Chains A and B, each alone.
Chain A
Amino acid sequence: MIRPIDVHAVLQQSVPGPYADLVTRPTGRAVRERIELTITDASVLRMDFTGVGCIDYSCADEIVAKLLRTVQVLLLRGVTDAHRLAIEPVLQGHGLAVAIETGAGLEVLGPPEAAALVAEELLARRLAERTAGGTLALTAA
């Protein structure tokens, strides 16, 4: 089961004030804990980062890395180059990977071994398929 999460909306519910940035560890913790309340039966999360401004390393660690202790696959969408700056080193540090929806298909971000496992998981769950060019494309809308 894929559970959609609007990260910007969760952020708004989690911090006082109209902030669009995922910064500080307490904020990351609050956002993650709010997400965890809703995903007890989900093994795949589709997290939409549209509307989120800056993400720092602490928040990326608290949200992305720690959610991967609970769910098997994270599908991220609405991820900007600036978001990747924070997410990628955190994934490297933990040896974890996530799938990012791009306009052209799916990109698995993370160190090679972890990325290969995520790609296999996506294919096994029929959430993705190999394109003629060998890349991954999402099957489930």
Chain B
Amino acid sequence: MTRLVDVPAQFDDRSFEHFAASFAAGAAGGERLLFDAHATEWASPYGLVGLLVAGQAAHATGRERPLLTVPANPRVLSYWARAGFFQQASLLFEIHGKVPKVKPAEESDVLLPVTAVRAAEDVHQVVSHIQQRATAILTSQLGIDPKATMGFAMALSEACQNIVEHAGTGGWVAVQHYEWRRRLAKRVVVIAVGDAGVGFRHTLEPTQAKRFGDRWGDGAALEAALIQGVSRFRDPGRGQGLKGIRGYLSRWDGKIAIRSGTARIAIAPSWDDDAPLTEGLSAFPGSQVLLIIPEQGTGTP
């Protein structure tokens, strides 16, 4: 018996909850999962990374390897291939449909193809790669001061390190830039980092649960980490990473959102209407981090 998990037609952070609910329902049954992306017309890095996280979680339960039906649209299929998605997906899913053989990362809007992050060395490679690829795009197309492009690499490094330090498993990162016509009418750079690890609540529970008392849960854990800069370590130098990311995004009018377990927290600039904290969502494994940096200087619509 196979349970269907719908992949949304427009698969990004906004439609992610539909996907998470479908995944949670499917995962609860214990049957083999079929991730159906045949009607998917577009996926953001957040969607692609989220799909891998779900695949990893389904794979890890000891059930039969999950199935993935690839997008029917050849243009979408080609884009996913160039974004490096299928290289990673082939390790997790039994893929149904013909996947084009293309070299990832050379596509101009793929700043970093979907890349596995398991250890510190992977973070070194990500940072090294992004500096080579991103500097020109950040300065010429997003109007970010050349001096600040290093801050972008720092933010990316810290986001990836959350996987290495806390997840207890591997994860993925992807970076793309594109014209965000419907939501902002500007170009944006989007960083997505996700893992199917233990999540923020589990990581912080030993040191923070008592402090929060009845309020303790996924939402409180996210609040502690992102807003209060709390870490599971007592070392005062810990917890700087997310704080640093916040500082960088604030300087460039960017957005951060983190989803973990059944909650999602966001620090959204004026151009975005995301809720600061949403609880009671469908359970989804690990943690998913979204960073968005918009084009500078042309005003919000």
Contacts and interface: CB of A to CB of B under 8 A. Distances in A.
B244 A89 contact: yes
B128 A19 contact: yes
A16 B244 CA distance: 27
Interface in A5-64: 15-17, 19-21, 23-27, 53-58, 61-62
A51 to B, nearest CB: 14
Contact of B240 (A20, A26, A93): A93
B162 to A, nearest CB: 11
A67 to B, nearest CB: 12
A56 B154 contact: yes
B152 to A, nearest CB: 9
A26 B120 contact: yes
A94 B123 contact: no
Given A58-B161, A82-B147, A23 B121 contact: no
A85 B124 contact: no
Given A21-B127, A89-B244, A54 B157 contact: yes
Contacts of A85: 150-151, 154, 248
Contacts of A80: 150
A106 interface: no
Interface in B93-142: 120-121, 123-125, 127-128, 131
B277 interface: no
A41 B165 CA distance: 33
Interface residues of B, number: 27
A24 B124 contact: yes
Contacts of A57: 154, 158, 240-241, 243-244
Nearest to B248: A85
A28 to B, nearest CB: 10
B153 A94 contact: no
Nearest to A21: B127
Interface string B156-180: 0110010011000000000000000
Contact of A19 (B124, B150, B247): B124
A79 interface: no
B237 A65 contact: yes
B62 interface: no
B128 A21 contact: yes
B213 interface: no
Interface of A: 15-17, 19-21, 23-27, 53-58, 61-62, 65-66, 80-82, 85-86, 89-90, 93-94
15 contacts: A15-B120, A17-B121, A20-B128, A24-B161, A26-B164, A53-B127, A53-B128, A53-B131, A54-B150, A56-B127, A56-B154, A61-B240, A80-B150, A85-B154, A86-B154
